[in-house]
Amino acid sequence: MEFDELCDKCEEWMQPYLDRELDDAERAEAEKHLEGCGYCRKRYRFEESLRIFVRHVCSEEMPPELKQKLAALRTPL
């Protein structure tokens, strides 16, 4: 089956599932559905790789001089 009423529910779960915020029972249900449903599995893989991509390109390293400036703010002993 390509699409059923569970897929609507799956769209609701998808983000909390990726956020690891579902409880055990919900996660088990979501995983069972993903295993059997190509429609949702494709979207799951996409959403997961989008998440990783966004995090990767939006992560900017801290300038090393800033770290020194922060360390200089420490209370002198």
Give the C-alpha separation, 40 to 11, whole Å: 8
32 contributes a contact to other proteins by CB under 8 A: no
Smallest distance, other proteins to C-beta of residue 56, A: 9
Among 23, 25, 35, 71, the residue binding other proteins under the rule CB under 8 A is 71
Q: Which residues bind other proteins (CB under 8 A)?
A: 11, 14-16, 19, 21, 42-43, 45-47, 49-51, 53-55, 57-63, 66-67, 69-71, 73-75, 77
